[in-house]
Structure 1
Amino acid sequence: MADDLRYLSSNTTILEYGANTYNSTTASSEAFTGYYQVIYRANAIIEGLTNYTGTSAAVNKQLMAEAKLMRAYCYFILVNFHGEVPLVLQTDPNVTAYLPKASVSEIYKSIVADLIDAKSNLLADYSFTSGNRNGVNKFTAAALLARVYLFTGDYQLAEANATEVIQASNLFSMIPTATMGSALFVKNSTESIWQLPPSLVATNQSTTEAASFIPSSNVIAALNFDLRPSFLSLFSTGDRRRTLWMRDLTIAGGQYVIPLKFKYRTTTEAAAANVTESQIILRLAEQYLIRAESRARLNVNLGGALADLNVTRSRAGLTASTTSDRALLLEEIALENRKEFFCEQAYRWFNLKRTGQADAVLPVLKPAWRPAAKLYPIPLLVLNNNPNLTPTTGY
């Protein structure tokens, strides 16, 4: 959907999303309804724990805060993919089944309220999940708040929340250059703030990313994606991300480069290597770049913004930037974001839209591009089930 990857296979749905030619009829309802299923469960937990006395007050507080954080995360994804969507905050189907869309500002207001509440009530460590980072704590909420505030343009609050996470050095630290290829995208990495539980990955898949990007055999039919040459050209000589997070392949005489942040297609392969890889939802590097961008946009502490930018540059093996011009610094931060977080969630897609660049960048690669494609359509099945829902503008 963005501009870092090329799709090389023949799945019709993926081809449509790659070309941004989706519509309400062909759009899959699976992801859309999947997020609402999680939201429903979160709402049920919140309602069920209210005045519940079967567990301790401390456990109730933690679980309710976790539910609010999860609800906020789901709405963050939904609002960035779809724009206006129903804001469901209760479980009564007589109400929820027929809700109209809420405005983007209303949805963000709910996201922020949930995250502030979660941040106030979650524990300050991972003890609730026995040290495992597929659980959440107050710094998970702060990290997600920092991202949300960046997206809404509340840069002072984005900077403040990112700083809280960065200063929690007893929990979080950047994986060093020497091991960034092997120790970052693994279970309980010190750079991870929030990881996806392994139970959410398909059977015998180590991670969804590895299963999608690494071909099962050295034939062209097994290759689904590769990285665009235009993207590869952004990496300077000596950038360790180019050597440690990618793999060059020769298949049927053709040259391809695939993402390799995750190294093992199957749990069998990972087990043989004695490695447990985990998808990361939030990690420390993002907080440095959020703080860098926030400081630069506020036009205060540009030296601090530059220092934050150089955290990821230095880890990648690059010389420190010395940029003093604010506009150039913002350009460098945007480029660093793109190189650091390629193929992680929808990072590039969301940032293209957040920064207003999608309509300028994507038509060059996608002849069928139209401005309405910045939002995914609400699937027709969902529209048909709720007469109060209207199609996404442009569909």
Structure 2
Amino acid sequence: MYILNIKRMKASIYTKYIIGLVAIFLMGCEKMIEIKPPLNETPSAAIFTQDRTALSALSGMYGQLAQITFQTTGLPINTSLMADDLRYLASVVNLQEFNANTYVALTASTEPFTGFYQVIYRANAIIEGLTKYSGTSVAVSKQMLAEAKLMRAYCYFIMANFYGAVPLVLQTDVNTTAYQSRETVANIYKQIITDLNEAKANLLADYSFTKGDRIGVNKFTAAALLARVYLYTENYPLAESNATEVIQAANLYSMVPTATMGTALFVKNSTESIWQLPQPLQATNQYTTETASFLPSSNTLTALNFQLRPTFLDIFTGTADRRRSLWMRDLTIGGSVYVVPAKFKYRTQAEAVAANVTESQIILRLAEQYLIRAEARVKINSNINGALSDLNVTRQRAGLGALTATDPTILLQEIALEYRKEFFCEQAFRWFNLKRTGQADAVLSALKPSWKPEAKFYPIAQSILNTNPNLLQ
């Protein structure tokens, strides 16, 4: 990833072309360059006629994603409250509503709609700019187009699973996009799959474009996201084949072993990481913002905001599952024990620096690919023994014995349980899985007195609806 700061551009450039705003969205930048477009060139032409300025647009796209609060903390925290893994203990109204699935006080600043569409806009601008203008090298143009399509696909996957039908915006002309109505979920997934397949065909097979850093993406990133999308759309043969491609890339990916799963998994460039998020706020940060929310600043009730639900902890009772001790922390406060998520260990920059560790949020990791392939194999009854073997990868890494049952019904139940234990409070896994498997109503109505079936779809803030009469709730 290339981080640049563009300064002294005319105000008209800022208003006409959002990619010129890289400096606003990226903090801690080191390199400073000036762009002085010729008088006969449009702002977009000035950016997409040379590699270094085009790469600043790519950097801006990734930087925008890293600044979305719903990406950095909303996916692991808010969706865990919306599901059944986490409980909120404090008094912030919006978080209380996530906890109760009521969403009454919703505003544009407390939902993902605007933030993810800003990233989609940047991806569209890159696709349009590189398609329309020449001047970037073939290699850079090919990689950037593929990365923009992958990013657009990822954003639409998140949006479709939060809202269902949303506007499918594939261009930057606001005169056209400002009044778009919702597109069907089927068509959104069709576009996601198209984007990911095109990205997969053109991305590199390693991380050389980002000098080894896994904040960049490659063809296996696209394959991993495709495997998930095909699972969600019930195309199980393609879910299996794409997951297999990632699993077989053993030169890049391997499961972090049991001995170091508590310290070496959720760190920068972990061997299990397929795609990681750039550090928000400052590129030099060594901690994740979600950790500061999960772990209290002091061992007091006033500092404690969240706890893992006892019903979630019950699934670990009586087992030797190392995830209970390594990925959670028990706090004794006032004679009572509260258990909090602790996949990430450091809540401040000073703590991470002192430990000489850089932790990074993971968007995609290898463990999911084993579970995707296991579920797909059971659903198409193609390789039950292979499905069992895949399921046992994460089980045995956690210190549990290998399962031997080959009954498809039992296997699917165990796979669902393993998803929950492996990915708690991580990237909306539990919330999305409850909905895609049709279990949300039964599970959440038994736990939450105020649960209503319509709570499975997140509402769009009224302030956003007011700007587009065609965007109905």
TM over 0.5: yes
- In the alignment, is residue 321 of structure 1 matched against residue 397 of structure 2? no
Deviation of 1:200 after TM superposition, in Å, equals 5.5
Match of 1:207 in 2: 288
- In the alignment, is residue 228 of structure 1 matched against residue 309 of structure 2? yes
Match of 1:292 in 2: 374
With 121-130 and 197-206 compared, the bigger mean Cα shift is at: 197-206
Contact 2:153–2:192 (Cα < 8 Å) also in 1: yes
Contact 2:273–2:364 (Cα < 8 Å) also in 1: yes
Match of 1:282 in 2: 364
With 118-127 and 19-28 compared, the bigger mean Cα shift is at: 19-28
With 232-241 and 122-131 compared, the bigger mean Cα shift is at: 232-241
Q: Write the distance in 1 (CA, Å) between the matches of 2:148 and 2:127.
A: 7
- In the alignment, is residue 388 of structure 1 matched against residue 458 of structure 2? no
- In the alignment, is residue 18 of structure 1 matched against residue 138 of structure 2? no
Deviation of 1:381 after TM superposition, in Å, equals 1.0
Deviations 1:101-135 (A, max 9, x none): 00000100110000000000000000000000000
Q: Write the distance in 1 (CA, Å) between the matches of 2:314 and 2:108.
A: 33
Q: Write the distance in 2 (CA, Å) between the matches of 1:136 and 1:203.
A: 20
Q: Give the alignment partner of residue 326 of structure 2, picking from 227, 233, 244.
A: 244
Deviations 1:283-330 (A, max 9, x none): 000000000000011122100000000000010000000011110000
With 284-293 and 378-387 compared, the bigger mean Cα shift is at: 378-387
Q: Secondary structure at the match of 2:315?
A: coil
Q: Write the distance in 1 (CA, Å) between the matches of 2:239 and 2:109.
A: 33
With 178-187 and 200-209 compared, the bigger mean Cα shift is at: 200-209
Contact 1:24–1:380 (Cα < 8 Å) also in 2: no
Match of 1:183 in 2: 264
Match of 1:149 in 2: 230
What is the 5 A alignment of 1:359-374?
359-374=441-456
Q: Secondary structure at the match of 1:257?
A: strand
Contact 1:201–1:208 (Cα < 8 Å) also in 2: no
Across the two proteins, how many residue pairs are aligned to each other?
A: 391
Change (3 A) 1:344 1:18: same
Contact 1:23–1:377 (Cα < 8 Å) also in 2: no
State the structure with more CA Rg: 2
- In the alignment, is residue 47 of structure 1 matched against residue 128 of structure 2? yes
Paired residue type of 1:114: D
| Structure 1: runs of 5 or more not aligned | none
Q: Write the distance in 1 (CA, Å) between the matches of 2:247 and 2:284.
A: 35
Q: Write the distance in 1 (CA, Å) between the matches of 2:286 and 2:94.
A: 21
Q: Give the alignment partner of residue 435 of structure 2, picking from 345, 353, 363.
A: 353
Contact 1:83–1:375 (Cα < 8 Å) also in 2: yes
Match of 1:309 in 2: 391
Contact 1:143–1:162 (Cα < 8 Å) also in 2: yes
Q: Secondary structure at the match of 1:256?
A: strand
Match of 1:94 in 2: 175
Q: Secondary structure at the match of 2:337?
A: strand
Q: Give the alignment partner of residue 5 of structure 1, picking from 79, 86, 92.
A: 86
Q: Give the alignment partner of residue 213 of structure 2, picking from 132, 145, 166.
A: 132
Contact 2:287–2:347 (Cα < 8 Å) also in 1: yes
Deviation of 1:199 after TM superposition, in Å, equals 3.5
Identical residues among aligned pairs (%): 73
Deviation of 1:382 after TM superposition, in Å, equals 1.0
With 236-245 and 198-207 compared, the bigger mean Cα shift is at: 198-207
Change (3 A) 1:25 1:268: closer
Contact 2:94–2:106 (Cα < 8 Å) also in 1: no
Q: Secondary structure at the match of 1:16?
A: helix
With 195-204 and 12-21 compared, the bigger mean Cα shift is at: 195-204
Match of 2:32 in 1: none
The structure, 1 or 2, with the larger RCO (C-alpha pairs under 8 Å, 6+ apart) is 1
Change (3 A) 1:370 1:28: farther
Q: Secondary structure at the match of 2:118?
A: helix
Question: So what's the TM-score if we normalise by structure 1?
Answer: 0.97
Deviation of 1:54 after TM superposition, in Å, equals 2.1
Q: Write the distance in 1 (CA, Å) between the matches of 2:281 and 2:366.
A: 22
| Root-mean-square deviation (Å) | 1.4
- In the alignment, is residue 104 of structure 1 matched against residue 174 of structure 2? no
Q: Write the distance in 2 (CA, Å) between the matches of 1:110 and 1:345.
A: 22
Contact 2:272–2:366 (Cα < 8 Å) also in 1: yes
Deviations 1:145-168 (A, max 9, x none): 000000011100000000000000
Q: Write the distance in 2 (CA, Å) between the matches of 1:141 and 1:306.
A: 25
Q: Write the distance in 2 (CA, Å) between the matches of 1:121 and 1:188.
A: 23
Paired residue type of 1:304: G
With 30-39 and 301-310 compared, the bigger mean Cα shift is at: 30-39
What is the 5 A alignment of 1:247-286?
247-286=329-368
Question: So what's the TM-score if we normalise by structure 2?
Answer: 0.81
Q: Write the distance in 2 (CA, Å) between the matches of 1:335 and 1:219.
A: 32
What is the 5 A alignment of 1:156-195?
156-195=237-276
Deviations 1:60-102 (A, max 9, x none): 0000100000000000000000011100000000001010000
Deviations 1:174-199 (A, max 9, x none): 00000000000000000000000013
Q: Write the distance in 1 (CA, Å) between the matches of 2:135 and 2:259.
A: 49
Q: Write the distance in 1 (CA, Å) between the matches of 2:165 and 2:245.
A: 31
Q: Secondary structure at the match of 1:385?
A: coil
